[in-house]
Structure formats: structure tokens, C-alpha cells
Amino acid sequence: METLLHLLSLTLALSAAAESLRLIRLTGHAHAWLILALGFVLLAAERILELLSGQASDSVYAFHEYASDILMLSMSALYLYGARRMRGVFLEHQATRAALQHELDELRRFQHLTVGRELRMKELAEENATLRSQIVAAETGK
């Protein structure tokens, strides 16, 4: 059962690394995703060590334990660093979204002004036509 759990963990770690690499193209930010992918690869390496240590002698087992501890420490550091780098990705996304919202608001304001101007021009044209007809009626009535 333990071997099955290690194999499942290994598979999930490699899948997570692949997904992290796929996010590079989507977000355009390689650094954070590469760090996280490397962390997942280290997790997979640690799982492999765990699988191997189950069938190893005591001296090899001690080395595997030490290597496993080093890998776990490295993974924790990489996950922390990757998470901090990802913050920048989301802050940039937030800033871009705010800039786009500002542009959209400006376009809506311009549209409102333009439509208001067009409506006023139409009202003035109608008022002008009414006045002309009154002038013509007044001149013909003299």
C-alpha cells in the first residue's frame, strides 16, 4: 500500500511540474513557474528515493533519509520563492485589469458625450426646421 501511495505521489508531482510548465506560455512569466516546476521535480525525486529506500540496506537507507531531508528543505524553499514570484504575476494582472477598466470607462464617457452631442444636434436641426417654417409662414402671411 505504501508503494502505491509513493507511486501516486510521484505521478501527481510530475503532473504538477508539467502543468507549471504549461502555465509559462499562458501567463508569459517563466521564472515563477519554472521554480515551482523544479520544486515538483524535486518532490518526484524524493518519492523515488522513498521507493528505493524501502528495498535498501541500513547504510543506504541512512543516505536516503539524509537526501530526502535535503530535498524536502529545497522543495520548501522553492515553493516559497515561487509563491512570492507568482505574487508579481497576479499584481501585474490586477494592474492591467485596472488600466483596461480605466480605458473602458473613458470610452463609455466619450460614447455618452458623442451620443449626447448627436442628440442635441438632432434637436437643434428640428428646432431650426420649425423656425424656418415659422419664418416662411410669416413672410407668406404678410
Query: What confidence score (pLDDT) does residue 85 get?
Result: 79
CA 100 to chain centre: 15
Largest pairwise CA distance in the chain: 124
Note whether 37 and 20 are within 8 A (CB).
yes
Q: How many CB atoms lie within 10 A of CB 25?
A: 9
Q: Is 118 helix (H, G, I), strand (E, B) or coil?
A: helix
How many domains is the chain built from?
Answer: 1
Rounded Cα gap, residues 2 and 16, in angstroms: 21
Whole domain around residue 118: which residue ranges?
Answer: 2-140
Query: What confidence score (pLDDT) does residue 97 get?
Result: 92
Q: Residue 71 burial by CB count (10 A; 0-12/13-18/19+): exposed, middle or buried?
A: buried
Task: State the amino acid at position 88 in one-letter form.
Answer: G
Query: What confidence score (pLDDT) does residue 44 get?
Result: 86
Residues of the chain with pLDDT under 50: none
Rounded Cα gap, residues 103 and 9, in angstroms: 46
